[in-house]
Structure 1
Amino acid sequence: MNPLLTQPLAAIREAFRTGETSPLDVLDATLEHVAATDPVINALAYVDEPGARAAAQAATDRLISGRSRGDLDGIPVTIKDSVHAIGMPWRHGVAANANLPMSTVDAPPAARLKEAGAVIVGKTTMPDMGMMAAGVSSLYGITRNPWDLSRNTGGSSAGAGASLASGIGFGSVGSDIAGSVRLPAGHCGLVALKPTQGRIPHTAPSTMRSAGPMARSIGDLIDLYRVISRPDPRDTWSLPPEDTAGIHAALDPAGLRIGVMLDMGYGTTISDEVLRVVHSAAAELMAAGALVTTMPPIFREDPYPALDRLFQVRARTEWESIPEDRRSQVLPAVADWASEAANHSAAQFSRDTEAVMRSQEIVRARTSEFDFVISPVIPTVGFAADEVGLDPVQPLGHCSFTAWFNQTAQPASALCFGFSEHMPVGIQVAGPRFADQAVLRLTKWLEGAREIEMNWPTAVAADKIGALG
């Protein structure tokens, strides 16, 4: 593999400036790496070589004539299957959608990337409807974690996690409804951000789902964030422009109040290895002068059934939008789980919505006692590649540490902070609403404080899949 492909974006931009390489050269290297790697990890839903080549040629011409569009000009990136882009397919991970026409509109993240001159290589895989935190899809099959092909990528931005960890592209835009950019980042060793709702515009507008950037380093993530966070009137919740002049400066944690969230009061107990990694991050913050406090359990009663029913209704609604003769093609793990929603009344939905809002306020109030809260991303060190989660009955049930920040609209990042044997272990950093830049800056400090090397698994062998049986 061309060693440029895992260099930080700053190094690529410098190589462009000096003429050491060009956007066309980097795209050629990327496509060559895709051809060697993707048949093994199954991370790309679609490769748009003609479109990418045209974009790379245009970027090369701009750089030669001194008309660069900025930090992402000529940089290969990917977008999730769920992000509409003109001339590319939108399938939402569902086999029943395999023959839908190509998209005729650019969703806000795709539009911002194109305006910045980024080279969109293609789209990444996801599970059916994005309603599963795993890399299993009725349309795409199993997406595999390049750190260990027998292990899961997490989801729903599964292909984004696998492709970036393997060295395909320098950033990816996913979407996050219960942890769907943070979970793959945790499984695959990446950095990701679920922003304050509205900070990164997306369609259809949602108070629960957000588009979010993913990358191998916080510096690259910030470059991506600065582009896709620009406003778009098509998103009702789109926020005004923000000044990002100091966003690359790490935030000194001295004096900050840091809560350590280790117990949601329900859900899977944190494994010893994950606990060790979170404690190591807390120790670094404390050593730097932060006021670190372990938080008591967030909930006294299990709040998840109401939230799970809302997720079921969302999935069932999409299932019902599929022509009846193709509904059987939806992954059973999603279709069977969502089928219970057929029995939910409008009154039940209203009660569940109110219950989730009460739980949301509990999380907001408990976390507001601190400047930032750190926690695990997932409570265990992943699970097998063909599994749909830690509990097959609740495919989003293991998202206990991530899902509630979608409800509170608080920004939350994920960062690899350690390993358990050969697998990455991520931590989550959450802050108050609108404090996206502060979350990113503290994440940058933590990235600089970690005592691990990220030796990316860019070489994967097809013969390893056969060994998995």
Structure 2
Amino acid sequence: MNPLLTASITEIREAFGTGELTPLQLLDATLEHLEATDPVINAIAHVDESGARAAAQAATDRLDSGRARGHMDGIPVTIKDSVHAIGMPWRHGVAANADLPMSTVDAPPAARLKEAGAVIVGKTTMPDMGMMAAGVSSLYGITRNPWDLSRNTGGSSAGAGASLASGIGFGSVGSDIAGSVRLPAGHCGLVALKPTQGRIPHTAPSTMRSAGPMARTVDDLIALYGVISRPDPRDTWSLPYEDAAGIHAGLEPAGLRIGVMLDMGYGPTVSDDVQRVVRSAATQLMAAGAVVTEMPPIFADNPYPALDRLFQVRARTEWEAIREDRRSDVLPAVADWAAPAAHFSAAQFSRDTDAVMRSQEIVRAKSAEFDFVIAPVIPTVGFWAEDVGLDPAQPLGHCSFTAWFNQTAQPASALCFGFSGHMPVGIQVVGPRFADQAVLRLTKWLEGAREIEMNWPTAVAADKIGALG
């Protein structure tokens, strides 16, 4: 594999500047690597070679004439199946949607990437309706983790996680409703950000779901964030433009109050290996002068049933919108889990919404005692590639450390901070609403403080899959 494919975006731009590399050559190398790698990991839902080649040619022409548009100009990236882009399919991971017409509009993230000159190579896989935190789909099958093909990528931005870890592209835009960019980042060793809702515009507008960038390094993540965080009036919650000057400088921890969240009071217990990695980050922060405090359990009572019912309603609503003779094509793990929602009353939905809002305030208030909170991304070190989660009856049930920050609208990043054997282990960095840049800066500092090297699994081989059986 061409070593430039896991270089930083800054290094790529330097190669562009010296003439060592052109955007067209970089695209060719990316497509060649994709062709060799994707049959093994199954991360790419659609390749738009003609569109990517036109964008790379335009970027090459701008570079030759001194009119480059910025840091992302000519850089190959991908977008999730759920992000509309003109001329590309939108399938939402569902086999029943396989015959839908191509998109005729660019969703805000796709529009911003094109304006910046980024080369959108194609779209990445996801599970049905984005309602599983796993890389299993009725349409795409199993997406595999390149660190170990027998292991899951997490979801729902499953293909984004697998493709980036294997060296396909320099960034990806996913979406996050309960952890869907942070969870694949945790499984696959990446960096990701679930922003303050509205900071990265997306459609349809939502107070729960956000688009979010994913990358291999914090600097690459920041480059992507700087593009897709520009406002868009189509998102009701879109926030005003925010100057990003100085965002690449790490935030020194001295004097910061850091909470360490290791017990939600419900859900799967955090494994010893995950605790070890989170505590190692806490130790680094403390050594740098932060005031680090381990937080007591967040909840006295289990808040998840109400939130799970809201997720069930969301999935059931989408299931009912599918043509009746195609509904059986939806993955049973999603369809069967969501089926009880057909019998929920409006009053039940209202009670559940109120209960979730009360739980949301508990998380916000306890987080507000600190400048930042660090926490696991996933309670365990992943699970098998074929699994839909830690509990098949609740495919989002293991999102206990991620889902509540969608409800509080707080920015939360994910960063690999250690390994358990050969598998990456991620941590979250959480800040108050609107402190997205501060979260990224502290994540940058932690990236520099970690005592691991990221030797990306770019050489995956098809013969390894045969050994899984």
- The TM-score, its normalising length taken from structure 2, stands at 1.00
Q: Given residue 236 of structure 2, which amino acid in structure 1 is its aligned partner?
A: T
- 2:193 is aligned to 193
Counterpart position of 2:140: 140
Q: Which amino acid aligns with 1:269?
A: T
Offset, 1:280? 0.2
Equivalent residue runs for 1:284-295 within 5 Å: 284-295=284-295
Matching of residue 237 in structure 1 with residue 237 in structure 2: yes
| Alignment of structure 1 residues 131-170 onto 2, 5 Å | 131-170=131-170
User: Aligned runs of 1:341-420 on 2, under 5 Å?
Assistant: 341-420=341-420
Alpha-carbon offset, residue 328 of structure 1: 0.1
- Secondary structure of the structure 2 residue equivalent to 1:11: helix
Q: Which residue does the alignment assign to 1:117?
A: 117
Residue 119 of structure 1 and its aligned partner are, at CA, apart by 0.1
Give the structure 2 partner of residue 78 of structure 1.
78
Aligned to 1:61: 61
C-alpha separation in 1, matches of 2:148 and 2:340? 35
Alpha-carbon offset, residue 333 of structure 1: 0.2
Paired letter, 1:328: S
Question: CA-to-partner distance for each residue in 1:54-78, whole Å, 9 max, x for gaps?
Answer: 0000000000000000000000000
C-alpha distance in 1, partners of 2:58/2:184?
A: 32
Write out aligned runs for 1:39-54 (5 A). 39-54=39-54
Tell me how far apart the structure 2 counterparts of residues 271 and 42 of structure 1 sit (CA, whole Å).
Answer: 29
Q: Distance in 2 between matches of 1:139 and 1:56?
A: 29
Q: Does 1:262 align with 2:265?
A: no
* Distance in 2 between residues matched to 1:460 and 1:212, nearest whole Å: 26
What does 1:11-26 align with in structure 2 at a 5 Å threshold? Answer: 11-26=11-26
- Structure 2 match to 1:314: 314
Task: Determine helix, strand or coil for the equivalent of 1:45.
Answer: strand
- Distance in 2 of aligned mates of 1:334 and 1:170: 31
Matching residue's letter, 1:276: R
Q: Which amino acid aligns with 1:49?
A: E
Give the equivalent residue in structure 2 for 1:222.
222
Aligned equivalents of 2:441, 2:368: Cα separation in 1 = 19
Q: Give 1:135 deviation, angstroms.
A: 0.1
The DSSP-based 3-state class of the residue aligned with 1:373 is: strand
Q: CA deviation at 1:389?
A: 0.2
C-alpha separation between the residues in 2 aligned to 1:427 and 1:408? 18
Partner SS for 1:417: strand
For 2:350, give the aligned amino acid: S
Q: How far apart are residue 360 of structure 1 and its match?
A: 0.2
Name the SS of the counterpart of 2:245 in structure 1: coil
How many angstroms does 1:284 deviate by?
0.1
Deviation, structure 1 residue 375: 0.4
Could you tell me how far 1:366 is from its partner in structure 2? 0.3
Matches of 2:284 and 2:199 in 1, distance apart?
29
Q: Distance in 2 between matches of 1:412 and 1:460?
A: 30
Matches within 5 A, 1:22-33: 22-33=22-33
Q: Which amino acid aligns with 1:400?
A: S
Instruction: After TM superposition, list the pairs within 5 Å mapping 1:88-99 onto structure 2.
Output: 88-99=88-99
- Unaligned regions of 5+ residues in structure 1, if any? none
Q: 1:329 offset after TM fit, Å?
A: 0.2
CA-to-aligned-CA distance 1:29-50 (integer Å, 9 cap, x gap):
0000000000000000000000
Deviations 1:395-441 (A, max 9, x none): 00000000000000000000000000000000000000000000000
Q: Is it true that 1:182 corresponds to 2:182 in the alignment?
A: yes
**CA distance in 1: counterparts of 2:203 and 2:305, whole angstroms:** 27
1:147 shift after superposition: 0.1
- Report how far residue 451 of structure 1 moved: 0.3
Deviations along 1:337-370, whole A, 9 cap, x unmatched? 0001011000000000000000000000000000
SS in 1 for 2:247: coil
Q: Secondary structure at the match of 1:427?
A: strand
- Determine if the alignment matches structure 1 residue 435 to structure 2 residue 435: yes
Question: Partners of 2:360 and 2:271 in 1: how far apart?
Answer: 25
Matching residue of 1:339? 339
Distance across 1 between alignment mates of 2:262 and 2:272: 11
Q: State how far apart, in whole Å, the 2-side matches of 1:282 and 1:369 are.
A: 17
Matches of 1:243 and 1:103, distance apart in 2: 32
- The count of aligned residue pairs is 469
The residue aligned with 2:468 is: 468
Q: CA RMSD in A?
A: 0.2
Q: Distance in 2 between matches of 1:377 and 1:408?
A: 16
Could you say what secondary structure the match of 2:183 adopts?
A: helix
What does residue 301 of structure 1 align with?
Answer: 301
Offset of residue 11 of structure 1: 0.2
3-state SS of paired residue (1:428): strand
CA–CA distance in 1 between the matches of 2:467 and 2:45? 24
Measured in 1, the distance between the counterparts of 2:53 and 2:72 equals 15
Alpha-carbon distance, 1:222 to partner: 0.1
Distance 2:77 2:311 in 1: 30
- Aligned partners of 2:270, 2:323: CA distance in 1, in Å? 41
**Superposed structure 1 runs of 4+ greater than 2 Å apart:** none
The CA distance in 2 between the partners of 1:273 and 1:243, in whole Å, is 39
Rounded to whole Å, the distance in 1 between the matches of 2:287 and 2:266 is 30
Deviation, structure 1 residue 153: 0.1
| Partner SS state of residue 46, structure 1 | strand
Post-superposition offset of 1:148: 0.1
The Cα of 1:309 is off from its aligned counterpart by 0.0
Question: Which AA in structure 1 matches 2:29?
Answer: A
Q: 2:330 corresponds to which residue? A: 330
Equivalent-residue separation in structure 1 for 2:364 and 2:171 (angstroms): 30
Shift of 1:231: 0.1
Identity of aligned residues (%): 87
Partner residue in 2 for 1:271 = 271
Deviation at 1:99, TM superposition (A): 0.5
